[in-house]
């Protein structure tokens, strides 16, 4: 599933540099994750790196996608 950032986000910027798909960007108030680019780090890492570095635990589950769907999305982004 792609991840999303909730209102607990402090806009600390920690998540941006660890995203292998450049899916995270600054929004109007908080950071946002582009669901079309988020693969939960499938294809690049063992677990979502943004969740590991978020000090506010503001990165949560979003739309449900299978591992195969996430891998296909990753391969499409990095072909």
β-bridge partners, 3: 61
Counting the structural domains of the chain, the total is 1
For position 43, what pLDDT does the model report? 96
Domain that holds residue 56: 3-77
Interval 65-74: pLDDT, tens: 999 999 999 9
Strands 24-26 and 31-33 come out as antiparallel
The pLDDT of residue 45 is above 80: yes
DSSP code string of 42-77:
TTT-SS-HHHHH-TT--EEE-S---HHHHHHHHHHH
The secondary structure of residue 63, as a DSSP letter, is S
CATH code for position 14: 3.30.70.20
The pLDDT of residue 1 is above 90: no
Interval 9-31: pLDDT, tens: 999 999 999 999 999 999 999 99
């Amino acid at each position: 599933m792609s991840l999303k950032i909730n209102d607990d986000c402090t806009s600390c910027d920690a998540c941006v540099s660890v995203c292998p798909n450049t899916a995270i960007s600054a929004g109007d108030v908080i950071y946002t994750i582009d669901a079309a680019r988020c693969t939960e780090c499938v294809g690049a890492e063992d677990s979502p790196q943004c969740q590991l570095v978020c000090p506010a635990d503001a990165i949560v589950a979003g739309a449900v996608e299978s591992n195969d769907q996430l891998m296909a999305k990753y391969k499409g982004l990095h072909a």
